[in-house]
Amino acid sequence: MNTKKKTNRFSYIFLALTLALYLFVAFTSPDKAILALGKSMQILQQVVPILVIVLLLTALMNILIKPQTISKYLGNSSGIKGWFIALFGGVISHGSSYIWYPVLQDFRLHGARNGLIIAFLYARAIKLPWLPMMISYFGWGFTLVLTVYILIGAFIQGLISDGILSRNEALVPEDH
Amino acid sequence: MHAKERSLEGLKELLVPFIYHTIMKQDNKTSMISKVLQQALRSFVDILPMLIATIGLVGLIQAYMSPEMLHAFFQGNILSDTLIGTISGGVAVGQPIISYIIGGELLHEGVSYYAVTAFILSWVTLGLIQLPFEASTLGLRFTLVRNLLAFAFAVIIALAVGLTLRVLA
């Protein structure tokens, strides 16, 4: 069985387990199950439209952008430009992290460095739309200090993971 | 309209015309549209089971976990509270605003900045519930390395933020 089939099988097992959990909760405390279902539907409504756009964008990039281009901007020789793209991209990206996983995996398959992907994901901890809210809860000082440390942390994690993960790591989940 | 909804609307307004114009610029538009739609649909179908399962679990956790349950974990020791903040933030799920509200309440009730920083940071960088989805998309080793680093850095950054604020105060 190839890796992709194994992954799909695991997805369906995970879905079946979640459904079983819902059934169990529905029998033991029906009001909690209804509450959980309502919250899940809210999240789904928020996530699906943006996910569809992101997947369309991924497909378009896949067709139009050559692997050499991604390799140039996010690959081994991307230098400071690569770090800037990863950190800035992470800060301005929207939506839940899991929406970005397929896009990022695609970048990896086209030669993007693991360190830059990890830096991108960590820089997403800076939530631009929520910054005013954070300032109102914790103040300017806290928000500024935390934001700077997150960027430094994202950069250091990228460096560390570049040392730990091999370049062929991206080929593990799918048979490309 | 909430800030989050506004930002998502902004993203849609930016990306949809970009996708449209990029396709319209191509010579073979019909074949391009069909290729893009096919590939996007295939990706969507591929990730749908895991996505539904992940969102379902997120809903369940949100239904069961309350701020009072979280507050009961913190004991007053900087190191153990920072670790507890990291773990509880990593397990908890939801929009960042929820972590700010809970974090603000915890701070108000005397929990340290170290623990609250670790909590709100791991809330957005760690995702126990999302682990299977992340591993199935990006690979198990990558997922493990990323999450272990995010865990360690939630603790390190929380301690650094707490110390910096103490020095600046």
Question: pLDDT tens digit string along B66-119?
Answer: 767 767 788 888 999 999 999 988 887 666 777 887 788 788 778 899 999 999
Chain B residues with CB-CB distance to A46 below 8 A: 4, 8
Q: Mean of the per-residue pLDDT values for chain A?
A: 81
By CB atoms closer than 10 A (0-12, 13-18, 19+), residue B90 is: buried
Which residue is it, tokens 């309440």?
Answer: B105
Q: Which pLDDT score, from 0 to 100, does residue A175 have? A: 41
pLDDT at B143 over 70: yes
Tell me, yes or no, if the pTM score tops 0.95: no
Tens-place pLDDT, residues B8-38: 566 566 667 777 777 676 666 677 777 778 8
Of B38, B100, B136, the CB nearest to A173: B136
Which residue is it, tokens 């989050």?
Answer: B4
pLDDT at A129 over 80: no
CB pairs under 8 A between A and B: 226
Q: Which long-range contacts (CB under 8 A, 24 or more apart) does A124-128 make?
A: A124/A90, A124/A91, A124/A93, A124/A97, A124/A100, A124/B124, A124/B125, A125/A150, A125/A154, A125/B121, A125/B124, A125/B125, A126/A90, A126/A91, A126/A150, A126/A151, A127/B96, A127/B124, A128/A91, A128/A92, A128/B7
Q: Of A7-11, A53-57, B27-31, B37-41, which one has max mean pLDDT? A: B37-41
At position B22, the amino acid (one-letter code) is T
At position B97, the amino acid (one-letter code) is I
pLDDT at A1 over 90: no
pLDDT at B121 over 90: yes
Q: Which of residues 78-117 of B touch A (CB under 8 A)?
A: 96-97, 100-101, 103-104, 107, 113, 116-117
Mean pLDDT of A72-76: 74
> Least CA distance to A54: which residue of chain B?
B15
Chain A residues with CB-CB distance to B109 below 8 A: none
Chain A residues with CB-CB distance to B140 below 8 A: 172
Q: How many CB atoms lie within 10 A of CB A106?
A: 20
- Are the Cβ atoms of A161 and B157 closer than 8 angstroms? no
CA distance A26 to chain B (A): 11
The DSSP 8-state label assigned to residue A65 in this structure reads S
Mean pLDDT of A48-74: 71
Of B51, B142, B160, the CB nearest to A165: B142
Q: How far apart are CA A111 and CA B132, in angstroms?
A: 24
User: Contact, A117 vs A104, CB < 8 A?
Assistant: yes
Q: How far apart are CA B115 and CA B74, in angstroms?
A: 8
B76 touches chain A (CB under 8 A): no
Instruction: Please determine, for the modelled complex, whether the ipTM score is greater than 0.90.
Output: no
By CB atoms closer than 10 A (0-12, 13-18, 19+), residue A105 is: buried
Mean pLDDT of A85-107: 82
Interface probe, candidates A40, A97, A113, A140, chain B, greatest B C-beta count within 10 A: A40
pLDDT at A11 over 60: yes
